[in-house]
Amino acid sequence: MLSRKNIEDIITFAFENNVAILADEVYQENIYVDKKFYSFKKVLREMPEPIRSTVELLSFHSVSKGVSGECGLRGGYFEFVNINDYSE
């Protein structure tokens, strides 16, 4: 699990190098240690401009992992943040 500082460093790196971030946050509900979970989207939204509005983030989530990571039916979704329109 990444610390907030680690996530800020990754976001800054992505900004400086113009790369998108793919954040696998599927297991955010399955934390069994005394640490706080920080989502990439929340940290990104709290970064200064122009970082906050230009870093591209693809965040992956699940609705099938529950509390214990059980198997069975699968479901998930992803969210795009700040995705540029490259068709122009």
The domain spans of the chain are 4-81
Q: What is the mean pLDDT of residues 13-38?
A: 81
The H or E element that residue 81 is part of is strand 76-81
Instruction: Give the span between the Cα atoms of 15 and 30, in whole angstroms.
Output: 29
pTM of the model: 0.78
64 or 5, which is more confident: 5
pLDDT at 50: 97
What pLDDT score does 22 carry?
A: 95
Angle, CA 31 vertex, CA 6 and CA 81 arms, to 5°: 50
Kindly report, residue by residue over 31-58, the tens digit of the pLDDT.
566 777 788 999 999 999 999 999 999 9
pLDDT at position 33, please? 66
Q: Apex CA 31: angle with CA 80 and CA 29, to 5°?
A: 45
Going by C-alpha positions, the residue among 26, 6, 18 that lies closest to residue 82 is 18
